[in-house]
């Protein structure tokens, strides 16, 4: 009932889970619009094995998060084929300070990878 109230108020719901966790394995049971899969150490900037997402049903709008950088986001997108990606520390020059150049590189790499994977599908 609580999810229904949130959806009625906001219009959509995203559930965050740790990749490979029991919650992640139940992702098809959540009545959400998106499921964000994060690192076992959220906020650490450490990437995880994206193979943990291999069994995510294709009809789940998956968002990959955790340890993404301009240098690895394309591989994450090619491997997982997510609906979207999320980044924070991977585009920082120091904790809490974003680096505009890294943000641009990240967005360019992500857009290019999404273009490539959508044309291959």
**Residue 8 burial (10 A CB sphere; 0-12, 13-18, 19+):** exposed
Domain edges within the chain: 2-120
CB 110 within 8 A of CB 65: no
Per-residue pLDDT reduced to its tens digit, 13-64 = 888 999 988 888 888 888 788 999 999 887 788 899 999 998 888 888 999 9
For 50, the 3-state DSSP assignment is helix
Per-residue pLDDT reduced to its tens digit, 66-75 = 999 999 999 9
Question: What CATH architecture does domain 2-120 belong to?
Answer: Alpha-Beta Barrel (3.20)
> 7 pLDDT exceeds 80?
no
CB 90 within 8 A of CB 67: yes
pTM of this structure: 0.85
């Amino acid at each position: 009932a609580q999810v229904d109230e949130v959806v009625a108020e906001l219009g959509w719901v995203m559930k965050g889970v740790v990749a490979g966790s029991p919650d992640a394995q139940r992702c098809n049971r959540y009545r959400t619009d998106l499921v964000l899969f994060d690192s076992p150490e959220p906020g650490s900037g450490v990437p995880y094995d994206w193979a943990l997402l291999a069994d995510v049903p294709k009809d789940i709008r998956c968002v990959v998060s955790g340890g993404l950088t301009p240098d690895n986001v394309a591989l994450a997108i090619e491997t997982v084929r997510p609906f979207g990606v999320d980044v924070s520390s991977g585009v920082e020059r120091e904790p809490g300070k974003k680096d505009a150049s890294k943000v641009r590189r990240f967005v360019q790499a992500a857009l290019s990878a999404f273009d490539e994977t959508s044309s291959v599908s």
